[in-house]
Amino acid sequence: MEILRDIQALRAWREAREGEGKRVGFVPTMGNLHAGHMALIDNARRRADAVIASVFVNPLQFEDPEDLARYPRTEDDDIAALEKAGVDAVFLPTETVLYPHGQDDIARVDPGSLGTRLEGSVRPGHFTGVATVVTKLFNLVRPQVAVFGEKDAQQVAVIRRLVGDLDIDVQLAIEPTHREPDGLAISSRNRFLTAEQRRQAPAVHRALKRAAESLAGGHTVAATLAGARHWLAQQGFEVDYLVYCDEVRFEEQTRLVPEGRLLVAARLGRVRLIDNLAVHTPQAEESAD
Ligand code: PAF
């Protein structure tokens, strides 16, 4: 596996793959790799001849400096895991490599109103930071296919919007959320849970499943969401949001839509967990006819 730390090396690697006529698959990450990331890599390997990952904790998408400071950085382990997974190259830029003019007064990519809802309202500027770094990485890597995880469903929608509105020539592949046997979505943030919080954490996924069942059982969206928020609070969570949205604009819906999604963000102490579940109910399909 080639380790590429600057733009020149990355461009040279990319040009060599072009010369070989290889289809390049890309998996952007912020490191601290876990089974969920490995599934993204496997997905890319199925779709491409050469796979490159990036590991970069992007300061532009952190609105809270403390959150940025304590984000786990595990470069040696990440390199070993990528090598083992058969990745062909890893791009490991520093902040100076990606933001040589600092971060204060640079051109940014605004993902529109989609980026201001839900995660974007709790974390203002987050999706502008994501859209900016992903655009930069796409311009540098020029992949034919890029793989993202469904766990960050709103991020996926932002990237779809970005690719569509800015005519970026890349195919997107979305890998389903990987879960622990008890349903907890695998995330780099899980390592911050205490033993007690780890026991509580699967309630996030359970709340979504209960809500999906409630909708399928004919309960109203309002009653379902109120019940789910109440239940999650009873399990010890502070709920940032638990909503039902359409899959494209991520606007909250009060009635079932053909392609809807339940999304939740909830805190256990200082650990913030997010999760989501697609809801495809027969009622919505009938009302869509
Ligand atoms: O999902 C992530 O890990 C990050 O948001 C991404 C896409 C690598 C951009 O920094």
Model pLDDT for residues 190-216, shown as the tens digit of each residue? 999 999 999 999 999 999 999 999 999
pLDDT tens sequence across 163-181: 999 999 999 999 999 999 9
**144 pLDDT tier (thresholds 50, 70, 90):** very high
The answer, yes or no, to whether residue 116 has pLDDT greater than 60, is yes
Q: What pLDDT sits at residue 280?
A: 81
The per-residue pLDDT for 80 is 98
Q: Report CA(8)–ligand 1 centroid distance (Å).
A: 22
Query: Which CATH code, of 3.20.19.10, 2.40.50.140, 3.40.50.620, 1.10.1740.10, is assigned to 2-175?
Result: 3.40.50.620
CA pair distance 191, 235, nearest whole angstrom: 20
Q: Tell me how far the alpha carbon of residue 19 lies from the centroid of ligand 1, in angstroms.
A: 29
Residue nearest to atom 2 of ligand 1 (CA): 29
- CA dihedral sign, ordered 180, 45, 83, 53: negative
Which region, left, alpha or beta, applies to residue 198 given φ > 0 means left and ψ of -120 to 50 means alpha? alpha
Q: Which of 99, 126, 133, 141 to mutate to test the pocket of ligand 1 (most atoms within 8 A of CB)?
A: 133
Q: What mean pLDDT do residues 65-85 have?
A: 96
> What pLDDT shows up at residue 156?
98
Residue 45 pLDDT exceeds 50: yes
Residue intervals of the chain classified under CATH 3.30.1300.10 are: 188-276
The 260-268 sheet, strands edge to edge: 238-246, 260-268, 271-279
Is 134 near ligand 1, meaning CB less than 6 Å away? yes
Segments of the chain assigned to CATH 3.40.50.620: 2-175
Our mutation pick for probing the ligand 1 site, out of 152, 161, 177, counting the most ligand atoms within 8 A of Cβ, is: 152
Residue 160 has pLDDT above 80, yes or no: yes
- Of ligand 1's atoms, which has the minimum distance to the CA of residue 58? 10
Active site residues: 37
For the ranges 95-109, 187-201, 237-251, 271-285, which has the lowest average pLDDT?
271-285
Ligand 1 atom 1: the closest Cα is on which residue? 29
Q: How far is the CA of 213 from the centre of ligand 1 (A)?
A: 31
CATH tag, 188-276: 3.30.1300.10
